[in-house]
Structure 1
């Protein structure tokens, strides 16, 4: 996926990062061009990622944070540090995640943080999902639901970023998240009904008080962040948006209130969520409003100009507002 946040590197820079992470003896020799020992992985929207083959045949994935001069949304600041914390926390679960080999935030080799992790030989579920049978999709969606529940079992000291500072209530945290994304939109003059969104959120904020325990949430666990092999989940990737909050905000629950996002039945079954209370349905509508607002605003920060994709996001935002009105 194309985005101005992708901090692409020269072959010389990539060699320097390999040397720092794995030693000089692992740097690919000769003047090999891209495609021989390095391949850009193009599925993500935010960080650039490369698949590297080292001199001894070991394969790694390099992720590089956005360039220092590129403006990102408020919740995306320090995203790479957040992902590294998430990966460390998730070692406590039975959910497979990448193994980090090396991380560097010094800024000495490139103008941003970066880290190396072990390459996982598997297919991207989001890419191949349409080629699978309905039965295969159902089985995998159930597995994603179960994995999400395992992630949500982790608890935190407060609501908010994994690395802090947190706040004591979910209402305070979520209202702050909404305020941040609206400010991001206003800063870049994105055409939105800011007053209408703020009014809807404020009118339903009391429903957030039912959430009293901060739990680890991925928020971005879509099929494109699931790697599969032989019909099973091999690894979950891209954890930079994780925080402590309400598990109901997870991506798998989006379609329970907006069917345009897909069929949530198998995910919900795998998660073990049998029914939704009226409070939970309203909270989920609030979370959909936040998500779709973010989708519209982030298009500007990413430099995305696809009119169909942008129109689809705006249609989902209008739908989310109508469901809360």
Structure 2
């Protein structure tokens, strides 16, 4: 996917980055040693073949002068913190970090490198798999998501802090940021109605008292599979400490346009949602679709089809409160 947030660099700069991360002896020469990985929509990622034939991935944060949504500020620091937490506290497979650079001496943004995982992107191949294979992968993703959610946080909020004592306070601050981001870019939304829904329904958030690690962006496109199993999950820049019920896998329990959640929910170990959980999940669905509708204005290169799709999902999420 293309976006103005992708901080593409020249081959000369990429060679300098490789030299800093792996040493001058491993800087590639010749042609055909670098390829952009195009699945993401925020950071640019390159697959690079080092001189010793090892393959690595370089991720670069957006350019310093490109405006991003409030919750995306410092996203690469969040991803690095998430990777450390996951590797330290779970058995969930994630790539190791080879080198991270926040100096901005070679590039006008943070960057890091990691080994390339030779596997298929589940989001790309999913439609070509049998129903049985999809069911197995979705259930495995549910189980991995549950394990991620076992990580206990010190407070609700960003992985790097500062956090707050209540989930209601942090979630409403996330909502306020997204609404402000939309207003700042003059995105045409019914802001008064949205603010009213979130304010009126926010009491259902109070039963959540334990801050847990939440990936939030764990879609099929961020899952790598090989030989019938999940071998890595990637793209952790949207993680925070919050309510596990906000995870992406639960969205389809209310919006069928996001797929069939049955296998994910089973793999997670859930048998269903209580009325209170359903109410929270409606708020989380509305927040997600709000972010999707607003972020179009911050990517710069989207067509009418994507714009219309996000608006339709936001309308569906708002309609959940009319029932």
Q: Same fold (TM over 0.5)?
A: yes
Match of 2:224 among 227, 242, 248: 227
Alignment of 1:159-308 (within 5 A): 159-308=156-305
3-state SS of paired residue (2:99): strand
Q: 2:240 and 2:321 mapped to 1: Cα distance?
A: 24
Task: Give the aligned partner of residue 7 of structure 2.
Answer: 7
Q: 2:195 and 2:110 mapped to 1: Cα distance?
A: 34
- Superposed CA deviations along residues 142-168 of structure 1, whole A, max 9, x for unmatched, are 000000000000010000100001000
Shift of 1:250: 0.1
3-state SS of paired residue (1:121): coil
3-state SS of paired residue (1:160): coil
Task: Give the aligned partner of residue 91 of structure 2.
Answer: 94
> Do residues 146 (structure 1) and 133 (structure 2) align?
no
Q: 2:57 and 2:76 mapped to 1: Cα distance?
A: 14
Task: Give the aligned partner of residue 39 of structure 2.
Answer: 43
Task: Give the aligned partner of residue 107 of structure 1.
Answer: 104
Q: 1:304 and 1:241 mapped to 2: Cα distance?
A: 21
Match of 2:55 among 49, 52, 59: 59
Shift of 1:307: 1.0
The answer to whether the Cα contact below 8 Å between 1:286 and 1:324 also exists between their aligned partners in 2 is no
3-state SS of paired residue (2:206): helix
Shift of 1:29: 2.2
Task: Give the aligned partner of residue 68 of structure 1.
Answer: 64
The answer to whether the Cα contact below 8 Å between 1:60 and 1:119 also exists between their aligned partners in 2 is yes
Task: Give the aligned partner of residue 27 of structure 1.
Answer: 27
Shift of 1:284: 0.4
Q: 1:305 and 1:25 mapped to 2: Cα distance?
A: 41
Give TM-score scaled by structure 1 length.
0.98
Task: Give the aligned partner of residue 308 of structure 2.
Answer: 311
Q: 1:324 and 1:152 mapped to 2: Cα distance?
A: 27
Please list every run of at least 4 consecutive aligned residues from structure 1 whose deviation after the TM superposition is greater than 6 angstroms. Answer: none
> What count of residue pairs does the alignment treat as equivalent?
321
Q: 1:194 and 1:273 mapped to 2: Cα distance?
A: 34
- Superposed CA deviations along residues 111-153 of structure 1, whole A, max 9, x for unmatched, are 0000000110000000000110000000000000000000000
Give TM-score scaled by structure 2 length.
0.99
- Superposed CA deviations along residues 54-81 of structure 1, whole A, max 9, x for unmatched, are 0001110000000000000000000000
- Superposed CA deviations along residues 180-232 of structure 1, whole A, max 9, x for unmatched, are 00000000000000000000000100000010000000000000000000110
